[in-house]
Structure 1
Amino acid sequence: MASQNPPVPEKLLPAVYRYITTHDADGKPTFETGVKEEIDFDRTPMGGDLFLVYSGIKYPVPLANDSDLNTYKEHCVKKPESFMIPGGFLSRYIDYHPSAPPLWHRTTTLDFAVVIEGQVQLELESGEKRILKKGDVAVQRGTMHAWSNPSSSEFARVFYVALDANAPVVNGQELGESLGVVSHK
């Protein structure tokens, strides 16, 4: 008999909305109406819900003629294939399910992670760990790491901003991306 995943507790976190500003034809500030304000999420098999808040293909961000906004609209239809957009940036929410297994990975990005709800654990390949609580910020700089939710009953929500970066080099060795390793040992 195949094993089944335990049921996910009810998710009591609110929906996520984004409000994007732009300019009308006369140059007056207005809200963009061509992008749905409530953000849909993609559920991962590893126990997380991903919300793509905004993304772009380069920085400085090309605001002229809504170039960045048009690129983002394309990303809403066809999600970026990789965690990071080469030369670009993205921002997303991730809701971590209770007791979801950690997913070990390294991205060639500079990430800013802000805990919005609950608690998450950030574990480094060295074995060092930190519990981040609501309002805490982690600056993740291309290290092998894993995020997990230590609660067995409550969801956690984290807001990330990720900027493309050059791979870290340690002792002359470039440390490239490593994505989606369920167990690192």
Structure 2
Amino acid sequence: MSNPGQISPLRPVTRHVTGHNAAGKAIIHASSPGEWKSFEAKDMAFDVVYTTSQFPADLNNDADLAAHEQVVQSDQLGLVNPRGTVCRIVDFAPNNKCIVHRTQSLDYGIVLEGEIEMLVEEGEPVRMKRGDIAIQRATMHGWHNTSDTEWARMVFVLQDCQPLTVGGTTMKEELGIATGVLNPSGNDQ
């Protein structure tokens, strides 16, 4: 039942991209299964659903489709796409390792399956259930599936943001234990 490359037992995902025909009528441009990459000894898997490389996106002559394909084929995408957006699905194994990190981005994280804890530097972890949404604003944070048996799935939409300065310090991307494993985003230069 899994898609090739998918490591979790959760339902496979299919991406449906719309477009227009020559008469300007809406069509389904393409449908394709998720393309998963495992991380952290298969405790986590990513599926990059879509990216944009500028904001606002340019949909004319399918420029966004070409830009997305170029980003994916480059194999250089970090967590954030500079000057653009990333829509990514992440599956978390039971008792996965919590990877604490910071991205220079404004992120919407929505729990699709299971439950997950959101950790930040100060305060107690927040347990998030299906349908809950985190608005992550360039903070140091982490995600931890505390279940002993069930996988969790989240969808994230990451948007590049202006440099954030707090107390005179400019915040930078920090990948924690994922440094050297994940590509740096390069949007905090």
Q: Which range, TM-score by smaller chain?
A: 0.7 to 0.9
Q: TM-score, normalised by structure 2?
A: 0.85
The verdict on how the C-alpha distance between 1:82 and 1:11 changes in structure 2, with shifts beyond 3 A counting, is closer
Residue in structure 1 matched with residue 122 of structure 2 by the alignment: 126
Give CA-to-partner distance per residue, 1:111-131, whole Å, 9 cap, x none: 001100000110001243100
Which residue type is aligned with residue 21 of structure 2? Answer: D
Separation (CA, whole Å) in 2 of partners of 1:158 and 1:113: 6
Specify every segment of 5 or more residues in structure 1 that has no aligned partner in the other structure, as ranges: 1-9
Residues 92 and 159, structure 1, Cα contact 8 Å, conserved in 2: yes
Residue in structure 2 matched with residue 85 of structure 1 by the alignment: 81
What's the Cα RMSD here? 1.6
Q: Which segments of structure 1 move beyond 3 Å, counting only runs of 4 or more?
A: none
Q: TM-score, normalised by structure 1?
A: 0.86
Greater shift, 104-113 or 65-74, is seen at 65-74
Separation (CA, whole Å) in 1 of partners of 2:54 and 2:76: 14
Task: Give identity over the alignment, percent.
Answer: 32
Separation (CA, whole Å) in 2 of partners of 1:78 and 1:16: 23
SS in 2 for 1:76: helix
Separation (CA, whole Å) in 1 of partners of 2:74 and 2:171: 29
Greater shift, 38-47 or 12-21, is seen at 38-47
Q: Does 1:104 align with 2:100?
A: yes
Separation (CA, whole Å) in 1 of partners of 2:143 and 2:158: 15
Separation (CA, whole Å) in 1 of partners of 2:106 and 2:165: 14
How many residues are paired up? Answer: 171
Residue in structure 2 matched with residue 22 of structure 1 by the alignment: 19
Residue in structure 2 matched with residue 3 of structure 1 by the alignment: none
